[in-house]
Amino acid sequence: MVEVKQSGRVREIIVEENPLSRMLFVSTRLAWLWLILRIYLGYSWITSGLGKIGEDAWTGENAGAAIQGFVGGAITKAETGDVSGWYAWFLENVVLPNAAPFAYMVAFGEVLVGLGLIVGLLTGVAAFFGALMNISFLLAGTVSSNPIMFIIAILIIMAWKVAGWYGLDRWALPYLGTPWRYARKKP
């Protein structure tokens, strides 16, 4: 721990990274690991989204029909206690009346999250929105691959500074004001 003092009083305390956290979330040494996880997760999202785009029940003439079926199932699960009452209320009163816009958001959101993860552009943001969709599906009582995808997304969010090193973030983040610097070698 490093204390920064100003006028004799402690103004700020900075807690240094432990070696494991530094290696995983700060150093680019394991950026290849984040690349593998990003591509796996991105591929999962993009294939799911592309399967929905152009589908009649998602983005076609009957857009929203798939969401209506999904929400109906979740509301039924709420009656048995598998879905929280507050989330069932949200689905019934917010999502269901706006099923078509939500269908478009899900379909195109999955593709955008997948693209962001695969090319490594705004990786932490893409992983956040992927995790948000995963938690939404989990709250609605759908398990499948969502827990694994959620855990990977959370790890990528934690590693946002280096997860996109082998990707467009390497150039985009410094441009956006998140500069990387090379570690100085100890003499």
pLDDT in tens, 20-78: 998 999 889 999 999 999 999 999 999 999 999 989 999 999 999 999 999 999 999 99
Written as one string, the DSSP assignment of 138-179 is HHTT--TTHHHHHHHHHHHHHTHHHHTTTSTHHHHHHHHT--
pTM for the full predicted model: 0.86
What is the model's pLDDT at position 125? 96
Q: Specify the number of domains making up the chain.
A: 1
157: in domain:
yes
141: in domain:
yes
Question: Which residue shows structure tokens 């969502």?
Answer: 146
What is the model's pLDDT at position 185? 62
110: in domain:
yes
Asked if residue 69 lies in contact with residue 77, where contact means CB atoms within 8 angstroms, the answer is: no
Domain that includes residue 122, residue range: 34-176
1: in domain:
no
Higher pLDDT, 157 or 178: 157
Give the residue-averaged pLDDT of 106-112.
97
Question: Which residue shows structure tokens 């934690």?
Answer: 158
87: in domain:
yes
